[in-house]
């Protein structure tokens, strides 16, 4: 009966969302977020946002997840946004609460993730006086947000929230910060929410491509003999995976997907060559170096893809770039055919008229390289190999899980050895490379996809940066499967020091880290450990059979490296293949 009363109260409250009645700024904020379709907010209260949290108390329709650190909150909101395609939202108080969000804001900004970040501030009359818990968060975040607002008038609040969601989710997506002084949250106003498309001076996102440039691209494809598609995160963010698949099959052009593009093209497809760049496959890197036509689709020519820029794609007579952000086109490499617009829109227009390239001999060469130079590793039972762990997870989930990763070797092994079938299946920090991202982003991904399996792949270093969020999994019984590839070192640091710094190992030793099984159990999460293949299979099977969260500590050798590897200053075809190759 109590549950029925709560549901009736919830429905009644939602029915009053658009009522033009007197409310506080805090109540106006909560109403505005619900009107925007917000399903879940991550955050931590503090003095400057207590009015907002008091308003939440009266709203049964509003779901809030109390994280244990602001960085956990924003990474969870980020993971939610990447996994669902919706705008992620988080709350933090003024001063240190707001500044603790900065790394997460920069992470989202680099990877074009739509977030609305709401911070409290001291009262308007105290701004600029160095008041307790005051920080100029709008000034601090200006370089790392798509836009930000300081709300000085309560009547502006609904309009600003509407604009914030519009800016975050249109054009090249990104984080928007809304800073609200405490007195604004308590002021009264007659609530009225704008429903029209915002008219924002200076902001006119143009998703409509220039058809004449598409015609140039189609002509170049028709005459190309060694074409390559470089597909990036823009394919995923524009929901253009089906259009990319059709485009590749119609043109008969092989595809390589960047780290953020993984899942945007099915890994099992004959035209897929793997990931390019520093830890890319032999086939993908050789193809980029020998292509005569390079088509970048939603990829920004990141330095970890191009490596030595002057030696990148030297035989490409023509480079085409499809991207929604005109600032990215021509920024890194000279672009002969710029196709500015939403990736999905461009590919839909192209697919209507495209003809195949003259690529059959080229495809034979690609297939030969894939057969001769697959990703390999020297297998063993003890020590347990991390590549085996990722392959085991891929096989047992049939590639259907959502994988979140931290940063470093664990990230690269997951990218190399998990077979991604669907877009939004890999959640990882690409541009900023934020350690500590993997686990809290899994919480957000699971909150947004309660019926899907979410697996968080971590190193023992990155996991400890946000390990306190285990409490969230335990309290909410979020069934995240938390994998730690535990080598007792900062693995990628150790690898660079071995290969580039002549074995001069400096401050990469993580011995003294906690017993992760006991740590999980201390939070109320099941913990398991595996040191060989049989233990790994049994532990993973038990984790999969457990309805709630599970942490599995896979103990691996600290000497295991990620291969292939291209060292900084080298071209992408100058690959260290590893002892086994």
The topology (CATH level 3) of 211-373 is: Rossmann fold (3.40.50)
Which residue, among 244, 342, 261, has the nearest Cα to 302 in the 3D structure? 261
Do residues 285 and 575 touch, judged by C-beta distance below 8 A?
yes
Q: Mean pLDDT, to the nearest integer, of 138-152? A: 97
Both tokens of 365, joined, read: 């060469």
pLDDT band (50, 70, 90) for residue 166: very high
The predicted model gives 153-178 an average pLDDT of: 97
What pLDDT score does 10 carry?
A: 56
What pLDDT score was predicted for residue 118? 98
Average pLDDT over residues 535-563: 97
pLDDT at 355 over 50: yes
Closest by CA to 253, choosing from 265, 240, 263, is 265
What's 386-562's CATH class? alpha beta
Is the pLDDT at 209 greater than 90, yes or no? no
Asked whether the beta carbons of 24 and 153 are under 8 A apart, the reply is no
**Burial label, 220 (beta-carbon count in 10 A; 0-12, 13-18, 19+):** buried
| Residues 6+ positions from 2 with CB-CB distance below 8 Å | none
| pLDDT tens digits, 5-55 | 555 555 666 667 777 789 999 999 999 999 999 999 999 999 999 999 999
Output phi, psi for 188, to 5 deg.
-95, 150
Greater pLDDT, 580 or 533: 533
CA angle 77, 301, 399 (to 5 degrees): 55
Model confidence band, residue 184 (pLDDT cutoffs 50, 70, 90): very high
pLDDT digits (tens, 9 = 90+) for 78-107: 999 999 999 999 999 999 999 999 999 999
Which CATH topology does 1-190 take? Rossmann fold (3.40.50)
Which pLDDT band, with edges at 50, 70 and 90, does 1 fall under? Answer: very low
User: Could you check whether 1-190 and 386-562 share the same CATH topology?
Assistant: yes
Residue 43 host element (H or E): strand 41-43
Domain chopping of the chain, boundaries: 1-190, 211-373, 386-562
Could you tell me the pTM of the whole model? 0.95
Q: Residue 19: what pLDDT?
A: 76
Q: Is the peptide bond before 5 cis (omega within 30 degrees of 0)?
A: no
Q: CB–CB of 438/463 below 8 Å?
A: yes
**CA–CA dist 520, 93 (Å, integer):** 29
Phi/psi for 58 (5° steps) reads -95, 5
Four-CA torsion 198, 200, 205, 211, nearest 10 degrees: 90
Q: Which residue, 413, 394, 403, 467, is CA-closest to 435?
A: 467
What confidence score (pLDDT) does residue 58 get? 83
């Amino acid at each position: 009966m109590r549950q029925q009363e709560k549901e009736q109260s919830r429905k009644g409250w939602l029915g009053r969302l658009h009522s033009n009645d007197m409310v506080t700024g805090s109540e106006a904020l909560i109403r505005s977020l619900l009107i925007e379709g917000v399903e879940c907010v991550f955050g931590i209260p503090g003095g400057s946002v207590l009015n907002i949290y008091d308003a939440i108390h009266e709203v049964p329709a509003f779901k809030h997840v109390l994280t244990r650190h602001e960085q956990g909150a924003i990474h969870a909101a980020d993971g939610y946004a990447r996994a669902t395609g919706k705008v992620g939202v988080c709350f933090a108080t003024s001063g240190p609460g707001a500044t603790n969000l900065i790394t997460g804001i920069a992470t989202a900004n680099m990877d074009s993730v739509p977030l609305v970040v709401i911070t409290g501030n001291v009262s308007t009359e105290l701004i600029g006086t160095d008041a307790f818990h005051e920080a100029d968060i709008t000034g601090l975040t200006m370089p790392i947000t798509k836009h930000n607002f300081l709300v000085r008038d309560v009547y502006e609040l609904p309009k600003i929230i509407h604009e914030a969601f519009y800016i975050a989710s249109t054009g090249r997506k990104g984080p928007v910060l809304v800073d609200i002084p405490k007195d604004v949250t308590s002021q009264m106003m007659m609530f009225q929410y704008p429903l029209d498309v915002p008219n924002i001076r200076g902001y006119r996102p143009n998703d409509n491509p220039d058809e004449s440039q598409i015609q140039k691209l189609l002509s170049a494809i028709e005459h190309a003999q060694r074409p390559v598609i470089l597909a990036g995160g823009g394919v995923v963010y524009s929901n253009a995976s089906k259009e990319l698949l059709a485009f590749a099959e119609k043109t008969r052009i092989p595809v390589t997907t960047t780290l953020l593009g993984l899942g945007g093209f099915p890994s099992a497809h004959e035209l897929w060559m793997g990931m390019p760049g520093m830890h890319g496959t032999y086939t993908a890197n050789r193809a980029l170096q020998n292509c005569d036509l390079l088509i970048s689709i939603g990829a920004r020519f990141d330095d970890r893809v191009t490596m030595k820029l002057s030696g990148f794609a030297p035989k490409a007579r023509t480079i085409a770039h499809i991207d929604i952000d005109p600032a990215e086109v021509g920024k890194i490499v000279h672009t002969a055919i710029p196709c500015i617009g939403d990736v999905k829109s461009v590919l839909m227009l192209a697919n209507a008229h495209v003809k195949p390239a003259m690529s059959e001999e080229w495809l034979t060469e690609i297939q030969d390289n894939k057969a001769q130079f697959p990703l390999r590793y020297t297998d063993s039972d003890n020590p347990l190999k991390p590549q085996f762990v990722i392959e085991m997870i891929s096989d047992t989930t049939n590639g259907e899980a959502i994988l979140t990763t931290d940063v470093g070797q664990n990230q690269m092994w997951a990218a190399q050895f998990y077979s991604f079938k669907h877009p939004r299946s890999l959640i990882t920090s690409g541009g900023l490379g934020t350690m500590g991202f993997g686990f809290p982003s899994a919480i957000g991904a699971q909150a947004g996809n309660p019926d899907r399996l979410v697996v968080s792949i971590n190193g023992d270093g990155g996991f400890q940066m946000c390990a306190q969020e285990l409490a969230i999994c335990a309290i909410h019984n979020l069934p995240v499967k938390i994998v730690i590839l535990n080598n007792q070192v900062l693995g990628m640091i150790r690898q660079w020091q071995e290969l580039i710094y002549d074995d001069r190992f400096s401050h990469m030793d993580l011995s003294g880290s906690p017993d992760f099984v006991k740590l999980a159990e201390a939070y109320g999460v099941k913990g398991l450990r595996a040191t060989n293949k049989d233990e790994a299979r049994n532990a993973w099977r038990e984790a999969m059979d457990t309805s709630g969260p599970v942490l599995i500590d896979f103990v691996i050798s600290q000497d295991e490296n990620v291969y292939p590897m291209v060292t900084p200053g080298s071209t992408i075809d100058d690959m260290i293949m590893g002892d086994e190759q």
